[in-house]
């Protein structure tokens, strides 16, 4: 499962086990690095699984083959039936150590599952599964249409739109308890809900007489505030990570463009000026700046097709936080004394960058983790 996770990311190419020279490797001994260099392995993951007192104990090591250093060593304990989550967590640890980005393998996807024929017999149910497609289950019975599911920041609640013949509603669904509750009754059609970063608010749109505006509800006090009052169509609101701003989609300028305003609706300003249509924005945290996600430029469709976009299925992927929790992860015993030698690692990366061996990991994603060239006594080269 770990091998499959890393391969699906597109950044790793697992080597065929039939090519392994060293086959009796355990987590308690140092690998024979020459044997792994012989088959052009750039990184090595190995480990062992034991059951102690009915508990699953998994030790694993991550090695830099060229630098001949251990990069990571951890131990996980859990119940035996939780073995899939242990594998996903190990995949996350390896991915983060080698790329510098957070792993996403121990996550779940909430989505709209469609089944049945056309027309009234077709069902749209809220469903959830692990990111690799395992453990799928339905959260609604299909008696009404569901759209636009979104996770909260704690990954235990989902908000979604429910469409019935008598109108639309926005619901909160608690994954831990299975409890479902409505945000209330609103005059007009409500849609496009999304949580704030702290999970304490929900932004959504309300359509009345052909015009839609953005509202925000405080989930603690259940007070609702209207943030926009423009004649245009305002929708797809999304909070910034610090909760101070909201990005949204509006056609107030004549075509759907992206706008940013304060969380209280103040100082709206346009941030896209290209042709086409910009839809479904999301503000995400970055290590240096906030960035817009999914600012999609699309050709303008005919007006009669505009309503059809509401019927498109959507999905959200988030950390799980469900089921029996894993035991606290802890550093495994280090086989080698000392930490990774970054300088030696950097020199090896540079030496192999020009002609990476077959089966090697992507060097491009490892470069940001290297020490500055000045510390290595090397001249800085301009990126192509």
Return the CATH number at 86. Answer: 3.40.50.10070
| pLDDT > 90: percent of the chain | 60
In the structure encoding, which two tokens stand for residue 105, read together? 């393998």
Closest by CA position to 153, among listed 215, 213, 202: 202
Please indicate, yes or no, if residue 384 is contained in any of the structural domains.
no
Q: Are residues 256 and 355 in the same domain?
A: no
C-beta separation of 105 from 92 below 8 A:
yes
In the structure encoding, which two tokens stand for residue 7, read together? 């391969």
Q: Are residues 90 and 184 in the same domain?
A: no
CA 195, CA 182: separation in Å to the nearest integer? Answer: 14
Q: Are residues 133 and 193 in the same domain?
A: yes
Q: Are residues 144 and 240 in the same domain?
A: yes
pLDDT (tens digit per residue) in 162-177: 999 888 999 999 998 9
Q: Are residues 277 and 293 in the same domain?
A: yes
Of 135-149, 305-319, 322-336, 350-364, the range with the highest mean pLDDT is: 135-149
CA 197, CA 109: separation in Å to the nearest integer? Answer: 18
C-beta separation of 218 from 227 below 8 A:
no
pLDDT (tens digit per residue) in 314-329: 466 655 545 444 554 5
Q: Are residues 193 and 306 in the same domain?
A: yes
pLDDT at 316: 63
Please indicate, yes or no, if residue 65 is contained in any of the structural domains.
yes
DSSP of 140-162, one letter per residue?
A: S-SSSEEEEEEE-TTSSEEEEEE
State phi, psi for 83 to the nearest 5 degrees: -65, -30
User: Residues with Cβ < 8 Å from 357, sequence gap 6 or more?
Assistant: 40, 42
Higher pLDDT, 141 or 282: 141
Q: For residue 333, what is the DSSP state? A: P
- Owning domain of residue 356: 2-104+324-376
Q: Are residues 179 and 298 in the same domain?
A: yes
Q: Are residues 89 and 43 in the same domain?
A: yes
Q: Are residues 145 and 79 in the same domain?
A: no
How many domains does one find in the chain? 2
pLDDT at 209: 84
Please indicate, yes or no, if residue 220 is contained in any of the structural domains.
yes
Task: Count Cβ atoms within 10 A of the Cβ of residue 345 and give its class: 0-12 exposed, 13-18 middle, 19 or more buried.
Answer: buried
Higher pLDDT, 182 or 297: 182
Task: Count Cβ atoms within 10 A of the Cβ of residue 24 and give its class: 0-12 exposed, 13-18 middle, 19 or more buried.
Answer: exposed
Please indicate, yes or no, if residue 383 is contained in any of the structural domains.
no
Q: Are residues 271 and 125 in the same domain?
A: yes
pLDDT at 308: 33
pLDDT at 235: 94
> Would you say residue 258 has pLDDT above 50?
yes
Q: For residue 116, what is the DSSP state? A: S
Measured in whole angstroms, the distance separating CA 247 from the mean position of its chain's CA atoms is 19
pLDDT at 374: 44
CA 355, CA 364: separation in Å to the nearest integer? Answer: 13
Q: Are residues 258 and 245 in the same domain?
A: yes
Q: Residue 239 sits in a domain of what CATH number?
A: 2.120.10.30
Confidence class for position 188, pLDDT limits 50, 70, 90: confident
Confidence class for position 179, pLDDT limits 50, 70, 90: very high
């Amino acid at each position: 499962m770990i091998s499959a996770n890393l391969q699906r990311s597109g950044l790793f190419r697992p080597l065929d086990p039939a090519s392994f020279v060293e086959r009796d490797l355990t987590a308690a001994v140092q690998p024979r690095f020459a044997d792994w260099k012989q088959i052009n392995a750039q990184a090595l993951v190995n480990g062992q699984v034991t059951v102690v007192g009915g508990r699953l104990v998994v030790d694993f090591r991550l090695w830099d083959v060229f630098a001949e250093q251990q990069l990571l060593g951890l131990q996980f304990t859990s119940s035996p039936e939780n073995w899939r989550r242990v594998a996903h967590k190990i995949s996350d640890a390896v991915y983060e150590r080698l790329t510098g980005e957070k792993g996403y393998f121990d996550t779940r996807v909430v989505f709209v599952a469609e089944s049945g024929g056309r027309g009234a017999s077709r069902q749209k149910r809220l469903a959830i599964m692990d990111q690799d497609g395992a453990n799928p289950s339905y959260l609604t019975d299909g008696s009404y249409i569901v759209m636009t599911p979104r996770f909260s920041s704690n990954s235990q609640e989902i908000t979604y739109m429910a469409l019935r013949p008598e109108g639309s509603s926005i619901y909160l669904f608690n994954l831990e308890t299975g409890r479902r509750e409505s945000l209330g009754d609103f005059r007009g059609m409500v849609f496009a809900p999304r949580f704030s970063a702290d999970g304490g608010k929900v932004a959504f749109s309300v359509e009345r007489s052909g015009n839609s505006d953005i509202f925000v509800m405080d989930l603690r006090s259940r007070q609702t505030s209207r943030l926009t009052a423009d004649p245009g169509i305002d929708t797809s609101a999304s909070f910034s990570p610090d909760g101070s701003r909201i990005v949204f989609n509006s056609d107030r300028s004549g075509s759907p463009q992206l706008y940013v305003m304060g969380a209280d609706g103040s100082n709206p300003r346009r941030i896209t000026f290209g042709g086409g249509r910009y839809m479904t924005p999301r503000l995400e945290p970055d290590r240096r700046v906030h960035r817009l996600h999914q600012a999609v430029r699309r050709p303008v469709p005919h007006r009669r097709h505009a309503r059809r976009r509401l019927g498109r299925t959507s999905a959200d992927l988030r950390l799980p936080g469900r089921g029996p929790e894993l035991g606290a992860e802890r550093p495994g015993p280090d086989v080698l004394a000392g930490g990774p030698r970054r300088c030696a690692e950097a020199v090896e990366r540079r030496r192999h960058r020009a002609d990476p061996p077959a089966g090697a990991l992507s060097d491009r994603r490892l470069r940001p983790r290297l020490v500055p060239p000045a510390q290595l006594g090397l001249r800085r080269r301009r990126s192509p």
